[in-house]
Structure 1
Amino acid sequence: MSEPMPGPMRLRSAALSLITLLGGVSLAVIPAATVSISSRLFSVEEQGFLAVAVLVATFAGQITFAVVVESRLSSAATERRVVFPLWLAAVSVLTALVIAVTPPNAVVLGIGLPVLIAALEVGRGVSVAERLDRREIVASIAVGSGALIGVLAGFAEQTWALVPLVLGIAVATCVRCMPVMHRASRPEPAVMGWVIADTAITGVIYPLLNTMILAFLGSADAVLFTSIATVSGLLAIPLNFMRLRLLKEHSTLDIVVSAGSVLAAVVVLLVLELSGVFGFIFGSAWDESATLAPLLLACAWRAASLATTLPFAALRRMGEVRLLTGLRAAVSVLTFALAAAGLAAQSLSAVFVGLLLAELLSAVVYEAARRRRVARVSRERAA
């Protein structure tokens, strides 16, 4: 654990943490901006396809993040340093250019999204973990500006609305792959395998769940589920920020900043919902449904991750990758079962209730495992 910092340094560190945390909004707005623009450019059936494609892209981003970033941060025997791979940056920029020069096409966009989201996930993860705050601010502005211009162009029904969105991602990718003074640590092969398995088991639930929603409830509900999950993803920004920082070392300051940001994000989402902004952004899929209850439940589900992240990060720092993979597999089965039970009730609110219950139970499971691990270490030291 790092030594306590003087007061002014703590304030500066907190300010930089908050600015970098807020920059995470740029990552969260990409799925929302994609859904919003798609609602103006494509048919309902194509929107349903893209709603699933967005979650598949998020899953692909999580897997890439696990390989490039999290496996290194979880390799306790190394220096745990990470960098943005140049190959990923090159593929991302090329993909953005292809989408930009191609007339609006749902299939091309669906294929390109996993690459773009993966670059965003890895780029931001590297910046947060290595505290590259200044370049992350520039990259976040590029992504956010591109998304804003694209959404506004979509409102005006301009066929080029996707161009600023993907070009903003390309600019941010170029900024994030600038040279750094350190080299990436070589991850421990066993650790990488467990981390990837862990991420795959957990992340596959949501695209699979939305595929089932598309099949059983139709395109409109699939789009609405993606929209609500994306909007509530604003809460995931401080949670992911806290998780990345805690994988490096425990920090009460980052926990407080993140928890306060979660509360503020909930307030912002409620104001936007009650003022009708989301209906304006997402169009008929949002306007024609009762969204307040599922949105509140989705926010509660996201916020419950606060209780899950603390013991999870502690176990990762302890090197308990095998244990965590087993626990995550069990929790994932439980999550899918409870969410599917909600789906059987033909209600998105019930689906989010299932996800919330699963998250709360996960927190209990992880905390129990952490306490057993700490108790075992204490007994070994006493012996």
Structure 2
Amino acid sequence: MSAGTEASGRSRARRATMSLITLAGGVSLAVVPAATVSISARLFTGPEQGAIAVAVMVATFAGQLAFSYVVESRLASIGTERRVVFPRWLGALAILAGLVVAVVPPNAVLLCVALPLLVAGLEVGRGVSVAERLDRRELVASVAVGAGALVGVLAGFFEQQWALIPIVLGIAAATLARLLPVPHRASRPEGRALGWVMADTAITGAVYPLLNAMILAWLGPAEAVLFTSIATVSGLLAIPLNFLRLRLLKAPSTLDVVVSATAVVGAVVVLLILDVLGVFGFVFGEAWTSSDSLLPLLLACAWRAASLLTTLPFAALRRSGRVALVTVLRAAVSVLTFLLAAAGLATQSLAAVFAGLLVAELVSAVVYEAARRRSVHDLAVRPERPEARG
């Protein structure tokens, strides 16, 4: 084996190792909603817990909007260098929100207001680190968030009034790490790409907080908390999928596809083992144990895992500049997703709701793949200028 081949092998091994570490660090992002729900179950009343469960979904939506504005719109601007940085204004708002929650005694309304800022900071900060391969600082940030969430959840078990403080301070520390200077400047997003990406996120992201608000209104706070809990737990599978999407938006990578798919399978196995061992019932309390959660969890995991089938053609379409086409397709799929999930809700069964989400995801995979193949065929027959695509 030549020295060059050996060096190339070591380089690929290092890249794979750092990808796995950064991917694993995404757990810290997923545990924040779960830790918040867990702590709230010990500090607040039932109606307040229901409101916080909906606020967690709203915060996730706000994080998606911020992410699409700061990160995804630039990655979809194919006429630029597609570089991203963590905006200081967003970091400052996230840190301020965390400090206010830490100083003021536990207050459900304040927490609902602060959550969108905290989650937006986490989503954008992690997205920038993954897209720009800032693996070392992301490792530090992930440890800070994970440690804060762990201490907060343990304090919540003992019904300590200060249980929210560790998690918000962990978020603040992670935000500071992600705000460290970088040697590049953010690319200016193309106006057309920015508009389509923001519209895409607004349409698709609004489905889940709206759905959970309907669950709160029709089935009560306990079911709303359970829906958020199951969606949050199964959201661990979204970590490798989001990681994969970011990497594929930047450039195609078979290595990242293999790493992410393996992580999805491993995560499903881990989640099922944890549920059988009663860990989730211990973490989320009565909301988890008072209902049959196994079937909804299985369907939720299948729904998340099916996203792997949509991620590949979606990223390929976005990377080629087909932002308008992607937005139209995702809007149509979002309507279908809401209708199928609402039909499941009409049966007053969370399992039926997650089944509706799964069916919608499988349909969207077929739609995106058909659109990708049509796009490839059109380019082969009639090549387009990048600025003419959409």
User: Shorter-chain-normalised TM-score: which range?
Assistant: over 0.9
Question: 5 Å matches for 1:274-289?
Answer: 274-289=276-291
Matched letter for residue 317 of structure 1: R
Take 1:101 and 1:280, find their aligned partners in 2: how far apart are those partners?
28
1:64 alignment partner in structure 2 = 66
Take 1:94 and 1:211, find their aligned partners in 2: how far apart are those partners?
28
Take 1:261 and 1:52, find their aligned partners in 2: how far apart are those partners?
28
1:325-360: CA deviations, max 9, x gaps?
100110000000000000001100000000000000
Gaps in structure 1 of 5+ consecutive residues: none
1:141 alignment partner in structure 2 = 143
Structure 1 runs, 4 residues or longer, greater than 3 Å off: none
Matched letter for residue 86 of structure 1: R
Of 242, 246, 257 in structure 1, the residue corresponding to residue 248 of structure 2 is 246
Take 2:143 and 2:216, find their aligned partners in 1: how far apart are those partners?
34
1:381: Cα distance to partner?
5.1
Cα RMSD after superposing both structures: 1.0
1:178: Cα distance to partner?
0.4
1:29: Cα distance to partner?
0.1
Matched letter for residue 122 of structure 1: V
1:233 alignment partner in structure 2 = 235
Take 1:276 and 1:19, find their aligned partners in 2: how far apart are those partners?
27
Question: 5 Å matches for 1:115-194?
Answer: 115-194=117-196
Question: 5 Å matches for 1:1-383?
Answer: 6-380=8-382
Matched letter for residue 60 of structure 1: A
Matched letter for residue 238 of structure 2: A
Take 2:338 and 2:291, find their aligned partners in 1: how far apart are those partners?
24
Query: Secondary structure of 2:382's partner?
Result: helix
Gaps in structure 2 of 5+ consecutive residues: 385-390
1:353-373: CA deviations, max 9, x gaps?
000000000000000000000
Summarize the Cα distance change of 1:337–1:259 in structure 2 as closer, same or farther, 3 Å threshold.
same
1:226: Cα distance to partner?
0.1
Matched letter for residue 351 of structure 1: V
1:219-241: CA deviations, max 9, x gaps?
00000000000000000000000
2:388 alignment partner in structure 1 = none
1:173: Cα distance to partner?
0.1
Take 2:140 and 2:100, find their aligned partners in 1: how far apart are those partners?
24
Matched letter for residue 219 of structure 1: P
Matched letter for residue 354 of structure 1: G
The two structures have a TM-score, normalised by structure 1, of 0.98
Take 1:133 and 1:358, find their aligned partners in 2: how far apart are those partners?
34
Query: Secondary structure of 1:79's partner?
Result: coil
Matched letter for residue 197 of structure 1: A
Query: Secondary structure of 1:61's partner?
Result: helix
Identity between Structure 1 and Structure 2 (%): 72
Matched positions, count = 379
Matched letter for residue 68 of structure 1: V
Take 1:229 and 1:94, find their aligned partners in 2: how far apart are those partners?
28
